């Protein structure tokens, strides 16, 4: 199952799609709440997405939102 990752807020703030190496923050949205996940160290956006996707699937999240750090 692929959970959609919403980047609209990030793109509105920074003027471009998420990319590069940095600390990343995501909100994993379930039916009952939202859980925040932040990377422990600077990683690429691709690596952060892979990590948050695994966590979101384990939580049963419906969507993931890229958050501001």
Structural domain span for residue 22: 5-67
> How many Cα atoms sit within 13 Å of 2 on the Cβ side?
4
Q: Structurally, how many domains does the chain consist of?
A: 1
Length of the chain: 69
Instruction: Please give the structure tokens belonging to residue 22.
Output: 């940095």
pTM greater than 0.85 (yes/no): yes
| End-to-end CA separation in angstroms for the chain | 27
pLDDT at 22: 96
Each of the 69 residues of the chain gets a pLDDT tens digit; together they read 689 999 999 999 999 999 999 999 999 999 999 999 999 999 999 999 999 999 999 999 999 999 976
């Amino acid at each position: 199952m692929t959970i959609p990752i919403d980047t609209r807020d990030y793109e509105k703030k920074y003027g471009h799609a998420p990319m590069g190496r940095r600390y990343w923050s995501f909100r994993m949205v379930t039916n009952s709440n939202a859980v925040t996940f932040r990377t422990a160290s600077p990683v690429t956006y691709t690596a952060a997405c892979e990590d948050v996707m695994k966590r979101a699937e384990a939580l049963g999240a419906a969507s993931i939102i890229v958050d501001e750090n």
